Structure 1
Amino acid sequence: MNLRSEDRSILKDWFLYLKLIITGLAKIPSFSRNLYRGVRMNLATKYQNGETVIWWAFSSCTTTKEVLKQDAFCGSKGERTIFEINCYSGKDVREYSKFPSESEVLLIAATQFRVVSNVNKGDGLIVIQLEETEPKYPLIEKGSMKRPIHVPKTVQPTDIPLEPVFDASSRNPEIVRQIKRTQFRSKVVIEGQRLNREDMRDVVENVIIKKQCPQIQIRDAEMTIESISELGRGIRESTTVNEVDLCGSRLSSNDISHLVGELSIPQTHTVEQWKCCGLTRMKTLDGGPLKVLNLAKNNIDDDGVNHIVGLLRLKRTLIELYLNDNQIGDAGVEKLATALSHPAAALQKLYLQDNKRITDRSVKSLTEMFEKSQSLNTLWLLNCGLTDNGKQELSEAAGLKRGFYLNIERFAY
């Protein structure tokens, strides 16, 4: 219980053990994705919306909600609380676990969260959504583990056109400074910046390739087609990038075609696996091992979905795709449903909420996808153009698919 205490002074006897554990975990790359943790009690009153909470202990989580339904964990009856956690510092310990089937991810002690939602699902089940946040001051010394590095938004004049013209010879000084500050294998967050081809080339060469940063977040940015293509090349040539977030960057379907065009070029890399006594063993890695792609809040329409579907067929590593708040309609949904119905499809989570052009015409293709898809386990369709009848039909169809999570109203069915 001492490890769970907010009073860290009582941990003095444990310091050397904690340092050993944290030093070891620091050697495992952090990654960003949704995790799940469950307990057999009702914790609704301890987690209020908007509050900041800190988990002082090391917390074992899983990437698969189905694990929590086992009796050894939460089970499916009685009082229980399931945490849905959006984190960026999880440590994937499956390779080191005695039970790899549990898909275990470890959260470091003193991890801070914001409570996003707290929902009573009935039948004793409470679902609490948490989002990892960075504390104002360090709560625990985490060795060499890197925190996200943020580039502040720059204030732009209000009369900047939607399609800005860049001076190809110029460099964004904020990007240059950020590249110099970036640590090896840290998450990089660039917000509200203008990037031309040369800026993006600097990011690719010095951040994605040289510093092997696994997570690239470029939000609310203004990019040229050339800079978008440059980013695609960088992802393709990397062996470490597993998450790319381009939310709110005004990307059109034409922009997506250039990004996907680069990502679709097959590329492998031969690297040294080990070397001993004059012998060397090499191994081959695929370029661009992308797992999570966030294209939310852009200007992608059904034509853009054509390119994305092509990427899904080629990138079997891609398991999470965010397309919410775009201009996608029924034709785009049908294309996605067809692609995900294929036996070889690998995508697990698809987010389509806030696409107002999705109507009841998509119900048929989606229900057929529920029956055929072997990989997809999560679909969000909040705030679309569906009628109550359409929502009900989809909810009933999703209810027949074991382990499927459909969020079509405020709450998930």
Structure 2
Amino acid sequence: MKTKKKSKRNVSVLQPEIDEVAENDTGLEMNAYENPYLQQEMKRFPNYSSVVIMMQVLTERDVEFIVEEAIIKKQCKQLKLNQTKLKSPCAFILANVLSNNDNILQELSLFDNRIDDEGVHYLAKALSTNNNNLKILDLTKNEITNVGAKYLAEMIKTNETLTTLLVAGNLIGNGGIQILANAIQYYSKTMIEFDFCTNELVNDSIVDSLIQLIKYS
């Protein structure tokens, strides 16, 4: 199910604490890095374009290389790392670059990976700083539960750029969807698309809340 939103209402809601994201200490010397396929693939993407790497098994070193080449050097506007077996340490690397406004990345797609709640925690903290330009975040099929949904909801309360959040195909239940819907309805000034379809733990009892979200949009 997708919902569209254009405006908000203000209410007070208790905000749980989220631990700070640790500083990145996984530096990589690129001159020692070797992945012939990925290095050759990166050469074909022009500056300020969309970089798409799909259906590969990417390591943390691969992701650091992609961050350096695609986001920092090529200043790509879209980065899609779909179906690349990414886990939470890779999300940590991406979160670090998102917290630095020296890039123009507007869309990050991590469709069908394994970043789970820990990875969402890193990304949510980075996007809470408003020190970035990201508008679209695709976290479809990433083993995210209600815990990750809470992290995203806290991010939504302060984020001023995100327009689209895709969390379909995860393990989020009614409670997590409710928290996200409340954050979007009452806090977000920018969100216009929220997709949470095919979350296995969602049932019809959440429908009334979503009707309210649409009604007051």
- State the TM bucket, normalised to the shorter chain: 0.7 to 0.9
Candidates 188, 207, 214, aligned match of 1:363: 207
Cα separation, 2, equivalents of 1:326 and 1:361: 18
1:6-405 matches, cutoff 5 A: 171-237=34-100, 238-267=102-131, 288-342=132-186, 344-373=188-217
Cα separation, 1, equivalents of 2:171 and 2:89: 23
Cα separation, 2, equivalents of 1:310 and 1:174: 38
One-letter amino acid of the structure 2 residue matched with residue 188 of structure 1: V
Cα-to-partner distance string for 1:27-63 (whole Å, 9 max, x where unaligned): xxxxxxxxxxxxxxxxxxxxxxxxxxxxxxxxxxxxx
- Displacement of 1:184 in angstroms is 0.8
One-letter amino acid of the structure 2 residue matched with residue 331 of structure 1: G
Cα separation, 1, equivalents of 2:71 and 2:97: 7
Q: Contact 2:124–2:151 (CA<8 Å) still a contact in 1?
A: yes
- Displacement of 1:371 in angstroms is 3.3
Q: Any unmatched runs of 5+ in structure 1?
A: 1-167, 268-287, 374-413
Q: TM-score, normalised by structure 2?
A: 0.77
What secondary structure is seen at the aligned counterpart in 2 of 1:195? coil
Q: Contact 1:219–1:249 (CA<8 Å) still a contact in 2?
A: yes
Cα separation, 2, equivalents of 1:328 and 1:243: 23
Aligned match of 2:24? none
Cα separation, 2, equivalents of 1:190 and 1:227: 14
Cα separation, 2, equivalents of 1:289 and 1:189: 19
Q: Contact 1:312–1:345 (CA<8 Å) still a contact in 2?
A: no
Cα separation, 2, equivalents of 1:220 and 1:362: 30
- Displacement of 1:347 in angstroms is 0.8
- Displacement of 1:343 in angstroms is 5.2
- Displacement of 1:224 in angstroms is 4.0
* Structure showing greater Rg: 1
Cα separation, 1, equivalents of 2:99 and 2:119: 16
Q: TM-score, normalised by structure 1?
A: 0.42
What secondary structure is seen at the aligned counterpart in 2 of 1:296? coil
More helix by share: 2
One-letter amino acid of the structure 2 residue matched with residue 327 of structure 1: L
Cα separation, 2, equivalents of 1:192 and 1:349: 26
- Displacement of 1:342 in angstroms is 0.8
Aligned match of 2:6? none
- Displacement of 1:181 in angstroms is 2.8
Q: Contact 2:168–2:196 (CA<8 Å) still a contact in 1?
A: yes
What secondary structure is seen at the aligned counterpart in 2 of 1:341? helix
Cα-to-partner distance string for 1:193-240 (whole Å, 9 max, x where unaligned): 233332222211221011111000000012243322111222332431
Cα separation, 2, equivalents of 1:262 and 1:313: 13
What secondary structure is seen at the aligned counterpart in 2 of 1:244? strand
Cα separation, 2, equivalents of 1:229 and 1:369: 31
Cα-to-partner distance string for 1:62-97 (whole Å, 9 max, x where unaligned): xxxxxxxxxxxxxxxxxxxxxxxxxxxxxxxxxxxx
Cα separation, 2, equivalents of 1:195 and 1:303: 25
One-letter amino acid of the structure 2 residue matched with residue 293 of structure 1: L
Cα separation, 1, equivalents of 2:215 and 2:187: 11
Distance 1:315 1:173, change over 3 A: farther
Cα separation, 1, equivalents of 2:127 and 2:61: 19
Distance 1:303 1:342, change over 3 A: same
Q: Contact 2:130–2:161 (CA<8 Å) still a contact in 1?
A: no
What secondary structure is seen at the aligned counterpart in 2 of 1:310? helix
Cα separation, 2, equivalents of 1:171 and 1:229: 21
Q: Contact 1:250–1:299 (CA<8 Å) still a contact in 2?
A: yes
- Displacement of 1:293 in angstroms is 1.0
Cα separation, 1, equivalents of 2:178 and 2:88: 28
More strand by share: 1
